Chain A
Amino acid sequence: ETGVTQTPRHLVMGMTNKKSLKCEQHLGHNAMYWYKQSAKKPLELMFVYNFKEQTENNSVPSRFSPECPNSSHLFLHLHTLQPEDSALYLCASSQDSLSLYGYTFGSGTRLTVV
């Protein structure tokens, strides 16, 4: 385990479903991130939360809705997704001033939209 735990590891959902991805860290970090990793694109930053406040929304469609109830937990709520949203979704955390070690990543959730 890397210190950042993501659940579920795999998720298959229909386009009309609603599901949530969960990320949890107990590293004492104050910033958390969602990244999307698809086969043909570089890692894409989706959202940044710093001390529970959203500080970045990288033009992400509204069918992705993040939630950060505290500095240790981050959710990504999904609804009415499209097949092109199938990807590996990675959560990461860091110290607020970006520690010498950069981000600590979770193992990811492999999402398939059918």
Chain B
Amino acid sequence: ELKVEQNPLFLSMQEGKNYTIYCNYSTTSDRLYWYRQDPGKSLESLFVLLSNGAVKQEGRLMASLDTKARLSTLHITAAVHDLSATYFCAGLIQGAQKLVFGQGTRLTINP
């Protein structure tokens, strides 16, 4: 059974700082996804990581995947207030068509 764990679950940081959210998963997963959720809103797809060593970047966010360590990271560079949201990672169960989500990391960026 695939289990996905994120840490930290809560993160408060200052604008301009860098930080990393970690996503560990328990068994082999074909793909790793990152989503963003604003309060009261739906989940927005950020990145899809397909293979070992994959790195994707969009603006101040960069995601990477290490399948050997069963670890994905979401790195935030020079944070700005607009990035405040809850970030979820999700793994795909091999051979099945369903995503298993982590608990989410609630990120608050203070001016």
Query: What are 30 A-to-B residue pairs whose CB atoms are below 8 Å?
Result: A2-B44, A4-B42, A42-B4, A42-B101, A42-B102, A42-B103, A42-B104, A43-B104, A45-B99, A48-B98, A50-B97, A55-B97, A56-B98, A90-B42, A97-B97, A98-B97, A101-B45, A102-B31, A102-B33, A102-B35, A102-B92, A102-B99, A103-B43, A103-B45, A104-B45, A105-B35, A105-B42, A105-B43, A106-B42, A108-B42
> Which of A2, A55, A102, A107 is packed against the most chain B CB atoms within 10 Å?
A102
Among B41, B92, B104, point to the contact of A98 (Cβ < 8 A).
Answer: B92
Decide: B97 and A43 in contact? CB cutoff 8 A. Answer: no
**Does A94 reach chain B (CB closer than 8 Å)?**
yes
Known: A48-B98, A96-B97, A101-B45. 4 other contacts (CB 8 A): A43-B90, A103-B45, A103-B99, A104-B45
> Which of B40, B50, B92 is packed against the most chain A CB atoms within 10 Å?
B40
Among A43, A48, A98, A106, point to the contact of B101 (Cβ < 8 A).
Answer: A43
List A contacts of B35 (CB < 8 A): 102, 105
User: How many residue pairs at the A-B interface have CB separations less than 8 Å?
Assistant: 56
Decide: A101 and B43 in contact? CB cutoff 8 A. Answer: no
**Does B48 reach chain A (CB closer than 8 Å)?**
yes
Complexed CA–CA distance, A29 and B102 (Å): 24
Name the distance in Å between B25's Cβ and chain A's nearest Cβ: 13
Complexed CA–CA distance, A72 and B55 (Å): 33
Query: Which residues of chain B (14-36) have a CB below 8 Å from chain A?
Result: 31, 33, 35
Q: Number of A interface residues at 8 Å Cβ cutoff, please give it.
A: 27
Decide: B42 and A107 in contact? CB cutoff 8 A. Answer: yes
List A contacts of B43 (CB < 8 A): 90, 92, 103, 105
List B contacts of A4 (CB < 8 A): 42
> Which of A4, A96, A103, A107 is packed against the most chain B CB atoms within 10 Å?
A103
Query: Which residues of chain B (39-66) have a CB below 8 Å from chain A?
Result: 40-45, 48, 50
Name the distance in Å between A54's Cβ and chain B's nearest Cβ: 13
List A contacts of B98 (CB < 8 A): 33, 45, 48, 56
**Does B87 reach chain A (CB closer than 8 Å)?**
no
